[in-house]
Amino acid sequence: MKKWLSLFIVAVSVFGLVSGCKKPQKKLRFAIVPKMRDNPVFNYAKIAAEKRAKELGGIEIVWRGPEEADPAKQASIIEALVSERVDGISVSCNEPNALAGAINQAVDRGIPIMTFDSDSPKSKRKYFYGTHDQKSGELLGREMARLINGKGRICILSGYQGAFNLENRIKGAKSYLAKNNPGIKIERTYYCNDDAAEAIRMIESHMNKDRTLNGWLMVGGWPLFASDGLKAIDPSKTKVVAFDALEAEWPYIDNGQCQALVAQNIWGWGYESVNILKAIIDNKPVTADSNNFIEAPVELVTKENIAEYKKSWKERFQ
């Protein structure tokens, strides 16, 4: 009897140990798809995403984007990620309509998907985290008007024609200037296809023909990502306001070739993408407006506050 009792106790103990062991949780794979791989603005978002994934634990970041701004290639990347059964996708859309089909396919197959930086509002994406681009365009317009005293001729520089975020920045700038500064004429809008070298070529070509242009309003920072990207511009005659405030752009503020930068929260593109996708997986609430838009803050960077901005940047990214 004692022998059987001993065996029973051992069996119960072993069962208790086995049943008490938790199965290891599956590692989540979140894919983040930038507009293009070589645009430095997205590389900082990658740093933030990987840092947040490490903080939370159990998350792998799959970073995959086209080599150039190409909506068809970006859609193909999303389709491939769906086939790989990643656990969530965050994408910055080169063009909203071209990406909608791939986004909808992901959602229909049970993969949560959100957008950052540049939206596809008519798709089935769950959330959009990014800059309020129209208001940011208005800020660019306001700064340009201030710098040229409310009158003169300017050009606008954009990236990929049709990109939702860039078109809204242009819309905001034009709206502000038309309403508040009718003395400012927009000579031309250039599209560089998110290519820094092409942006520099366009600026040089225009300035060689028009040395009296009063300003360049840039809804991205493409020429400022390269050294001597503004060499064709005389800052005493032609003022520059541009988007983003990456390290490569700081010298242009320091030397006076660019007078103002509108800094996006690119840290949030990566960091919050991980937070939001994880919340969706865990069925936790996410604070957003009625369009599921989560507005990220922007900051105006000028010569007066760039030292403070550099300090906060380095604390975060280094």
Q: Dump pLDDT digits (tens) for 258-314.
A: 999 999 999 999 999 999 999 999 999 999 999 999 999 999 999 999 999 999 999
What's residue 14's pLDDT? 42
Higher local confidence (pLDDT), 40 or 281: 281
Q: Determine contact, residues 45/34, Cβ cutoff 8 Å.
A: yes
Q: What is the band of 15 on the pLDDT scale with cuts at 50, 70, 90?
A: very low
Instruction: Kindly list the distances between the CA atom of residue 84 and the CA atoms of 31, 35, 65, 199, 201, in Å, as whole numbers in the listed order.
Output: 10, 20, 15, 36, 40
Of residues 186, 142, 194, the one with CA closest to residue 202: 194
Q: In the chain, what percentage of residues exceed pLDDT 70?
A: 92
What's residue 24's pLDDT? 55
Q: Determine contact, residues 52/274, Cβ cutoff 8 Å.
A: yes
Maximum C-alpha span of the chain? 106
Q: What is the rounded CA–CA span in Å between residue 299 and residue 59?
A: 30
Q: For the chain, report the end-to-end CA distance as a whole number of angstroms.
A: 69
| CA 168 from centre of chain | 14
Report residue 271 as tokens: 């960091």
**What pTM value is reported for the model?**
0.85
Of residues 234, 232, 215, 214, the one with CA closest to residue 223: 232
Instruction: Kindly list the distances between the CA atom of residue 163 and the CA atoms of 94, 158, 166, 293, in Å, as whole numbers in the listed order.
Output: 5, 9, 5, 17
Q: Determine contact, residues 245/307, Cβ cutoff 8 Å.
A: no
Q: What is the band of 38 on the pLDDT scale with cuts at 50, 70, 90?
A: confident
State mean pLDDT over 161-182. Answer: 97
State mean pLDDT over 1-22. Answer: 44
Q: Determine contact, residues 206/233, Cβ cutoff 8 Å.
A: no
Q: In the chain, what percentage of residues exceed pLDDT 90?
A: 89
- With residues binned 3-state (H G I as helix, E B as strand, rest as coil), the percentages for the chain, rounded to 5, are 45, 20, 35
State mean pLDDT over 162-166. Answer: 95
Q: Determine contact, residues 91/256, Cβ cutoff 8 Å.
A: no
Residue 134 confidence (pLDDT) above 90: yes
Residue 16 confidence (pLDDT) above 50: no
Residue 11 confidence (pLDDT) above 60: no
Q: Tokens 């403070």 appear where?
A: 308
Residue 196 confidence (pLDDT) above 90: yes
State mean pLDDT over 156-178. Answer: 97
Residue 25 confidence (pLDDT) above 80: no
Q: What is the rounded CA–CA span in Å between residue 219 and residue 143?
A: 13
What's residue 18's pLDDT? 42
State mean pLDDT over 163-186. Answer: 97
What's residue 10's pLDDT? 42
55: left (phi over 0), alpha (psi -120 to 50) or beta: alpha
Q: What is the band of 317 on the pLDDT scale with cuts at 50, 70, 90?
A: confident
Residue 12 confidence (pLDDT) above 70: no
State mean pLDDT over 76-93. Answer: 98
State mean pLDDT over 218-223. Answer: 98
